Structure 1
Amino acid sequence: MTSGAILAAGDSGLFAPLMAFLLVVIVSFLLCLVAGMDNDTVADFFTANRSLSVTKNALALSGDFIFTTALLSAVGAVSLAGYDGMFVAISAIASLGVLLLLAEPLRNTGRFTLGAILESRVTGTATRVAGTVITLAVCMPVMVVQLTVAGDVTAYVLGLNRPGAAEVCTALIGALIVSFAAFGGMRGSSMIEIVKVIVVFGTVVAVSWAALSRFHWDLGILLETAAGHSGRAQSFYAPGLLYGDTMTGRLDLVSLCVTIVLGSAVFPHILLRVSASRNGTSARRASTAAVVMITLFYGAMVLTGLSATATLGAAVIASHDPQGNTALFLLANALAGSGTGLLFTMVACAAFVTVLGTVAGLTMAASASLAHDLYARVCSRGGGGERSELNVARAAVMTFGLVSVYLAVVLHHWSIVALSLFAAALTASVILPALVYSLFWKGLTRTGLLWTLYGSLACCVVLEAFGPAVSGGPLALFPHRDFHWFPLQNIALVTVPVGFFLGWAGSLLSRRSDADHDRYVETQTALLIGGKPPGSP
């Protein structure tokens, strides 16, 4: 998404959106302020002392799954690519199977950061350091994308369309969101996610209701009209529109779906959320409820995308943004009749609160890794004290957040699709293999784990850097340069097998000690009974 795309999606009726925007900001700040009063310990700050009910955790977990890209890009993909966009949405629903598989074992480890979870199986500071490196490598790119969108949405709501306005909004809103995370901790983040789910679902229901009523509640008419207005009536419900009908295009689509299915459930902030459950059973129940809500959400996204095509036409949507990221805004404006109506106000608020919740969650995950893994377990080796760790955690929130804000401002007019693709590929190619091996494979060794983490990370960096998402295309990070030799924009089709292979090969080639076997037995016992392995947290 470019910085001007959202600004062109509406007009200047600003009073209602501005008031709604201010209301969201004030309510979010008050929630974080009230919630943050109880953040006296590390457990309070990072996991809310595992005191959240199943209902609250389920709502917050659903919110963690809804990125800005899910809200905006999913609608755009369906509106412009038809079948391919719907296939991507189905892949997002399928990713919840990974969550159901891992939720209870993850909670039963008794840990809440990636490095700590992995160290429950493979001890040593190298595991904690590697977990921190991977966490930052995933969280930073996603933060930059989310903050860029936040600046664009805020600039529109305030009616600012001069050069540099979106960047200023990015800086101000970014600083505000980071402050929310520093004050509120996990409790504040959870409250924001719950508000986010309520606002987003309310918006989705309102837009879907208005869209269906426009077509007399007849899905057949909606589907037929969408195909007719797509400009490709014969192929709209056939594969090939998203990346092309070539072999490379088909592989790219499959690779994207692999990325979504395997990576969506293991983002660091989702691991942190699952670990905040009261026990393994609560984590499983919250995950099951989240599956239902996210399935309904993506079903509504498909309906909304088709409605956008049927109402506006694919050509109009693509003229505002080639990737269709403004389709939801354009549809809301069209359904409102004239001017910036209630629907557009709701969509703008939903987009903003989505960014707010996602950025707060990512910031918490990154700061937890920096403070709990790097500072407490590597630098001070457990001797710094809880108060010291809590202070470092808040400092880490501010530092990580402000660096992300700076990068979002600097890269604001760049095509940052590559950042999202890279982060998603890392979760599927690095985090998932490491977790699966650590939790379930008795043959894992220290060498195998580190090969998976660093080897797969290096593979992702190389293939992404020399792929078409970085150079060689109009939407690439460097559109006027072409040094790519890897053909796929989505690299997970190659990097996921590499990640699993490296863990297996490294473990096979290294010597497995008696301590490795003992650690496996201890970890499996903890997973079964919900206890903590030695050395927790």
Structure 2
Amino acid sequence: MSTPVLLAAGNATSEHRPLIMALFGAFVLATLVITVWAGRQTRSAADFYAGGGQFTGFQNGLAISGDYMSAASFLGISGAIALYGYDGFLYSIGFLVAWLVALLLVAEPLRNSGRFTMGDVLAYRMRQRPVRTAAGTSTIVVSIFYLLAQMAGAGVLVSLLLGITSDGGKIGIVALVGVLMIVYVTIGGMKGTTWVQMVKAVLLIAGTLLITFLILLKFDFNLSQLLGAAATNSGKGDAFLEPGLKYGISGVSKLDFISLGIALVLGTAGLPHILIRFYTVPTAKAARKSVNWAIGIIGAFYLMTIVLGFGAAALLSGDTIKASNKAGNTAAPLTALEVGGGADSTGGAILLAVISAVAFATILAVVAGLTLASSSSFAHDIYANVIKRGKATEKEEMRAARWSTVLIGIVSIALGALARDLNVAGLVALAFAVAASANLPTILYSLFWKRFTTTGALWSIYGGLISSVVLVLFSPVVSGGPASMFKGVDFHWFPLENPGLVSIPLGFLLGWLGSLLSKEEPDAGKYAELEVKSLTGVGVAAAVKH
């Protein structure tokens, strides 16, 4: 089974390319139609940033799961499991458990306390301009890190389908995704992005369910048989089903595993594109309900990624997967081709096209959500409240959001082209680490610590942000490793691939230390007001309507 699947995939896509292009075009056109329709209903800043706060708990839960089930989930995790077995499966567990932190600590208080962005919550009891500048900067950086993964996934996916092997062709695909992303956000705003997320979540669950069913069918719905075949076909034997294949080789790799686990579990509660979703519902009850729905949908999806990953290992060889993409990002589409009847069959080509089109729609939807989060934060926090000192009109603010979308899109295209050969799940884990280092400490301190000050917030955000980004830049992810972003050079001195073990505790420590050393006296009255708002939601409805 491990033989020329890759070559056959190329043949299948060339023979059925008109069909593949038609399916792809249909998916993209459908999402554009939804975006344009929703864009016509976007008349105010509240509509653009938060969809007017009109979505139900179930709708927002679907949209949140759509935001969360990104290229990293579908392509990266299945690829990591296919290549590393049990150690790849850890991504599934980490991404899912992270939702408990978001649900228990952040979802409801954040929704009750803010209006459009994280900066709203921080600015309520602190000096507005410096805090909003820091929050906006952090949001943009985290979003761009997350965007790298989606761009890389898009390049890999379309290259497989169209048989593109040149670097120039792959960069062109990344640019195409960036352009579509800019169109989605500038036209549709939060309403358009949310509807696209809902449709995409349903399609992704359906597509993943279909492949899972076909994989299990091949093994008589016997999980033990599936896992045994995966272990045998991987060439690693029982070690494939045990910890240590990737993260137990050395002491450094064990530390890397701890760092990855901390980043995955704590990162979700600090992700900007997830946080702004809590502002799209009308009540705190709806916010809780949306997270509950999201946990159920996401949990079912991650259970299926286990079957996808081990199914790929059982049906394809590691060499075949790596020949298509070194990081394993094409394992799921290649498995779809195999279970659909093989590369020579029309069924295989159709399933490959459908699954790839769904994955592409997934990427488009997620990059739109990320770009909306970062452009909203720039326009609302930095432009309207810092540069214009709160005197910007809604029209000026929305214009700034749209222009910032274009600039963020250009930056993401450039960086995504460099990251096209890295595993997308690993790239997303970096975004989680940056979010948990810069955003999470500040959010938790602001909501739950009376002594927290503006200085503490600035130290926490900038300290966590700078430390995590610097450690990534000088890690094996960027240089000095076998799968680094820059080949042939080595300027890394930080041994871990994920900075979370160092930068997350540092973010919390700096927030605490900055508050203690600050001469600023915390406003007890403002904290009391924020505490009441975060627990009860008093005043939120009026803010949303305004």
Q: TM-score range by the shorter chain?
A: over 0.9
Structure 1: give runs of 5+ residues left out of the alignment: none
| Cα distance per residue 1:61-104 (max 9 Å; x no partner) | 11111121111111011112111122221111100101212111
Other-structure match for 2:271: 267
Comparing 272-281 with 36-45, greater Cα deviation is found at 272-281
Counterparts in 2 of 1:305 and 1:331: CA distance versus 1, 3 Å:
same
Comparing 308-317 with 15-24, greater Cα deviation is found at 308-317
Other-structure match for 1:164: 168
| Mapped contact 1:96–1:265 kept (Cα < 8 A) | yes
Structure 2: give runs of 5+ residues left out of the alignment: none
In the aligned structure 2, how far is the partner of 1:333 from the partner of 1:252?
34
Decide which of 423, 433, 452 is 1:444's aligned counterpart: 452
Decide which of 298, 302, 310 is 2:302's aligned counterpart: 298
Are 1:523 and 2:530 matched, yes or no?
A: yes
Superposition deviation, residue 412 in structure 1: 6.0
In the aligned structure 1, how far is the partner of 2:484 from the partner of 2:6?
20
Other-structure match for 1:195: 199
In the aligned structure 1, how far is the partner of 2:160 from the partner of 2:234?
27
- TM-score when scaled to structure 2? 0.92
Counterparts in 2 of 1:313 and 1:151: CA distance versus 1, 3 Å:
closer
Superposition deviation, residue 170 in structure 1: 2.3
Comparing 452-461 with 392-401, greater Cα deviation is found at 392-401
Superposition deviation, residue 156 in structure 1: 4.1
| SS of match in other structure, 2:239 | coil
In the aligned structure 2, how far is the partner of 1:30 from the partner of 1:413?
29
| Cα distance per residue 1:451-496 (max 9 Å; x no partner) | 1011112211332222222221111122322222222111101111
| Mapped contact 2:156–2:420 kept (Cα < 8 A) | no
| Cα distance per residue 1:356-400 (max 9 Å; x no partner) | 111100110111011111111011112121122122222222232
Counterparts in 2 of 1:9 and 1:132: CA distance versus 1, 3 Å:
farther
Comparing 237-246 with 98-107, greater Cα deviation is found at 237-246
In the aligned structure 1, how far is the partner of 2:122 from the partner of 2:449?
12
Are 1:379 and 2:387 matched, yes or no?
A: yes
In the aligned structure 2, how far is the partner of 1:366 from the partner of 1:335?
39
Decide which of 352, 355, 365 is 2:373's aligned counterpart: 365
Counterparts in 2 of 1:440 and 1:121: CA distance versus 1, 3 Å:
same
Decide which of 473, 487, 491 is 2:499's aligned counterpart: 491
| Mapped contact 2:71–2:362 kept (Cα < 8 A) | yes
| Cα distance per residue 1:207-233 (max 9 Å; x no partner) | 001000000111111111111112111
| SS of match in other structure, 2:240 | coil
Counterparts in 2 of 1:331 and 1:385: CA distance versus 1, 3 Å:
same
Decide which of 61, 83, 87 is 2:86's aligned counterpart: 83
Comparing 305-314 with 36-45, greater Cα deviation is found at 305-314
Read off the aligned partner of 2:261 and give its amino acid letter: C
In the aligned structure 2, how far is the partner of 1:530 from the partner of 1:42?
21
Other-structure match for 1:151: 155
Read off the aligned partner of 2:469 and give its amino acid letter: V
Q: Please give the root-mean-square deviation of Cα atoms over the aligned residues, in Å.
A: 2.3
Decide which of 212, 215, 225 is 2:229's aligned counterpart: 225
| Mapped contact 1:6–1:326 kept (Cα < 8 A) | no
Other-structure match for 1:423: 431
Counterparts in 2 of 1:508 and 1:19: CA distance versus 1, 3 Å:
same
Decide which of 65, 68, 73 is 1:65's aligned counterpart: 68
| Mapped contact 2:327–2:421 kept (Cα < 8 A) | no
Other-structure match for 1:49: 52
| Cα distance per residue 1:180-228 (max 9 Å; x no partner) | 2111111100111011111111110110010000001111111111111
Summarize the alignment of residues 322-341 of structure 1 with structure 2, pairs less than 5 Å apart: 322-339=326-343, 340-341=348-349
Read off the aligned partner of 2:268 and give its amino acid letter: S
| SS of match in other structure, 2:480 | coil
Other-structure match for 1:28: 31
Decide which of 265, 280, 285 is 1:281's aligned counterpart: 285
In the aligned structure 1, how far is the partner of 2:435 from the partner of 2:7?
32
In the aligned structure 2, how far is the partner of 1:230 from the partner of 1:7?
20
| SS of match in other structure, 1:57 | helix
Identity %: 37
Are 1:399 and 2:403 matched, yes or no?
A: no
Summarize the alignment of residues 228-243 of structure 1 with structure 2, pairs less than 5 Å apart: 228-243=232-247
Counterparts in 2 of 1:94 and 1:8: CA distance versus 1, 3 Å:
farther
Read off the aligned partner of 1:427 and give its amino acid letter: A
Read off the aligned partner of 2:527 and give its amino acid letter: Y
Other-structure match for 2:140: 136
Aligned positions, number: 531
In the aligned structure 2, how far is the partner of 1:131 from the partner of 1:71?
30
In the aligned structure 1, how far is the partner of 2:536 from the partner of 2:451?
22
- TM-score when scaled to structure 1? 0.94
More helix by share: 2
| Cα distance per residue 1:422-444 (max 9 Å; x no partner) | 42211111111111111111121
Comparing 470-479 with 487-496, greater Cα deviation is found at 470-479
| Mapped contact 2:34–2:195 kept (Cα < 8 A) | yes
| SS of match in other structure, 2:238 | coil
| Cα distance per residue 1:87-140 (max 9 Å; x no partner) | 221111100101212111111013221222221232320000001110111112
| Cα distance per residue 1:259-317 (max 9 Å; x no partner) | 11110242111111112111211111100111011111100001111111111133432
| Mapped contact 1:426–1:457 kept (Cα < 8 A) | yes
Superposition deviation, residue 36 in structure 1: 0.6
Decide which of 288, 313, 319 is 2:317's aligned counterpart: 313
Decide which of 511, 517, 522 is 1:509's aligned counterpart: 517
In the aligned structure 1, how far is the partner of 2:126 from the partner of 2:482?
44
Superposition deviation, residue 6 in structure 1: 9.2
